[in-house]
Each structure stands twice: as structure tokens, then as C-alpha cells.
Amino acid sequence: MKDIKDIKEIKRELWEVIFKAQALGASKAVKYAIIDAMIVIDKEAKKTEVCS
């Protein structure tokens, strides 16, 4: 898994995607799917930290 700095950058970019998608009229389902992806990223990062 990527280090914490990379994870924060990925999540920052995903938030930008959410805002752009909303501006273009994307559904809430799109927003929630991206947020779900961020949650998975966090959980995987925590697993990696525990195993390290």
C-alpha cells in the first residue's frame, strides 16, 4: 500500500472529483461511490500499518 502522503494526495484528488461531478450534475450515487472508495483506502491503509 502507498504511504500516508500518497494516500492523502489520492483522497484530495477524489474530493476534487466529487466536487466536479456534482457541478456537472452527477447523482448522489456517484458521490457515495467515491466516498466508499475512500473508506476502503483508509481501511486498507490501517491494515498495512498494523501488519508493519
Q: Could you report the per-residue pLDDT of 9-38, keeping only the tens digit for each?
A: 999 999 999 999 999 999 999 999 999 999
pLDDT of residue 48: 75
Q: Where are the alpha helices (DSSP H) in 1-52?
A: 4-23, 28-51
Comparing 36 with 46, which gets the higher pLDDT?
A: 36
Q: For cell 491494515, what's the residue? A: 47
Domain segments of the chain as ranges? 4-51
pTM, entire model: 0.78
pLDDT of residue 1: 47
Comparing 2 with 10, which gets the higher pLDDT?
A: 10
Name every residue whose Cβ is closer than 8 Å to that of residue 20 and which is 6 or more positions away in sequence.
Answer: none
pLDDT of residue 47: 82
